[in-house]
Amino acid sequence: MTGTTTGQLPLTTATDSDDTENFLTVSLTAVLQSLTNLFDSVTGHDHSGAGKGAPVVLGAASVGTAAIANGAVTNAKLAADVARANQLVNGGHDVWGRGTSAFTATAAYAADRWQITLAGTDTLSVIRNTANVDVGSVACSACTFVLGSGAGATRYSQVLKVSDGHQLAGRTISLSARRRTATANAVRVGILTDGTGGTTTFSGFHTGGGTFETLTATVTVPADATTITISTYFAASCTAYCDNDNLIVGSVAADYVPLHPADDLARCQRYYYRIAGQTVGTVVATGHVYATTDAMLPLPLFAKLAVTPTITVSAAGDWAVASATFVSQTCTALVGYTSSSDRMSLHATVAAGLVAGNATTFVTLNANSTVTAEANP
């Protein structure tokens, strides 16, 4: 077949070799491209690519009005750096109300709300660390893990309970967690739920690259779930750093965004409230003397706790109550008397020197003086 191409459109007149008829053959692709170019040149419009199935790339400031319908951007369309409300307490592992020494016992809390659960003969030591934190972080949990017979079940967890007010049952939730370790296939995160069909959904393992990596997991919580547990699981002996956990409602995990420190602390104090580190002679409470040796000392809590707390006081000799002439009478016994979710009272006993009916003050005698209220749902 031979022929020539017309000028305006890429049409070809052709003559078959075996007869004398003329045909008009058409290159459809070339014709469409010509039409596109013609349209663009006349209108000034640029829709290059879109008509051929490629993504639309909008120019800067090209959507100025209501091109996107209200309510049309779903959670699934959001990028990880779009901030969303964190359901965790102390997700940044920054608050350590119980102190900064190593925590090793199963069921022990290390960073506020983060609890150790040991499996088999595994051991796990968790300590506050500021030298190996994620970008911008204040502190992280440094975890030294030795694998025994736990087979990957030892975990460092935060438990969220419906009975504590969490409203995650029936919702899709996503966890983003920053982890660092130099051991491959040793650390991953998971979301455990109870309820019908409840199970554990894991992230992939950290690669062991020695830098912080983002591990994620997404799960739809059963409608009858009562407990959701967010955990770091340890499957091989390693040192791992846990920082910046973010649990959100939605199908796309979101990067951790720190709270204001006051808000972070307030969340933690719902579960663990500590009066400690006071200078000697600090008046912690005022109270009522009801015998020459006994006084009752109410202490309001500055945060309403999740449940009625356990009250723990340091040694009686760390404390004193004041006599009528404001002479310190060292306590010989001190015990929590009653507590509720927003207040507690202590019962102090001294050898002598008080006057029934008087008021008194409750003061610290040394830096060891500590009162804690702890409420774990």
165 binds other proteins (CB under 8 A): no
Please name the amino acid found at residue 98. R
307 binds other proteins (CB under 8 A): yes
CA dihedral 178, 129, 107, 299 (to 10 degrees): -110
256 binds other proteins (CB under 8 A): no
Nearer to other proteins, 115 or 174 (CB): 115
Among 147, 175, 285, 313, binds other proteins (CB under 8 A): 313
Residue 101 CB, nearest approach to other proteins (Å): 4
Among 73, 151, 283, 335, binds other proteins (CB under 8 A): 335
Residue 154 CB, nearest approach to other proteins (Å): 17
Residue 144 tokens read as: 């030294």
**Of the ranges 200-208, 241-249, 260-268, 330-338, which one interacts with other proteins (CB under 8 A)?**
330-338
Closest CA to 269 of 320, 190, 193, 341: 341
Nearer to other proteins, 110 or 173 (CB): 110
Among 14, 207, 224, 337, binds other proteins (CB under 8 A): 337
Closest CA to 216 of 194, 237, 245: 245
Closest CA to 228 of 172, 283, 266, 182: 172
Nearer to other proteins, 123 or 308 (CB): 308
Q: What are phi and psi of 246, to 5 degrees?
A: -135, 120
332 binds other proteins (CB under 8 A): no
Among 31, 83, 315, 324, binds other proteins (CB under 8 A): 315
For residues 169-228, which are near other proteins according to CB under 8 A? 226
Place of tokens 């507590």: 339
Q: Judged by CB under 8 A, how many residues of this single chain contact other proteins?
A: 42
276 binds other proteins (CB under 8 A): yes
Mapped onto helix, strand or coil, the DSSP state of residue 109 is strand
300 binds other proteins (CB under 8 A): no
Site string for other proteins, 9-48 (x = CB under 8 A): ----------------------------------------
Site string for other proteins, 85-114 (x = CB under 8 A): -------------xx-xxxxxxxxx-----
Alpha-carbon radius of gyration of the chain: 33
Residue 86 tokens read as: 């964190």
310 binds other proteins (CB under 8 A): yes
Residue 344 tokens read as: 């507690």
For residues 220-239, which are near other proteins according to CB under 8 A? 226
Query: Do the beta carbons of residue 368 and residue 360 sit within 8 Å?
Result: no
282 binds other proteins (CB under 8 A): no
338 binds other proteins (CB under 8 A): yes
CA distance 148 to 371: 37
Rounded to 5°, angle at Cα 124 from 154 and 372: 105
312 binds other proteins (CB under 8 A): yes
Among 13, 74, 163, 167, binds other proteins (CB under 8 A): 163
Residue 191 CB, nearest approach to other proteins (Å): 21
Long-range CB contact pairs, 197-206, < 8 A, 24+: 197/222, 198/222, 198/225, 202/233, 203/175, 203/177, 205/235, 206/179, 206/180, 206/181, 206/240
Measured CA to CA in angstroms, residue 361 lies from 285, 287, 358 at distances of: 6, 6, 10
Q: For the chain, what's the residue count?
A: 377
Nearer to other proteins, 139 or 375 (CB): 375
**Of the ranges 31-39, 128-136, 204-212, 368-376, which one interacts with other proteins (CB under 8 A)?**
368-376
Nearer to other proteins, 75 or 293 (CB): 293
Query: Do the beta carbons of residue 183 and residue 153 sit within 8 Å?
Result: no
Query: Do the beta carbons of residue 1 and residue 15 sit within 8 Å?
Result: yes
CA distance 296 to 349: 9
Residue 148 CB, nearest approach to other proteins (Å): 18
Contact positions vs other proteins (CB under 8 A): 98-99, 101-109, 163, 226, 276, 290, 296, 307-318, 334-339, 347, 368, 370, 372, 374-377
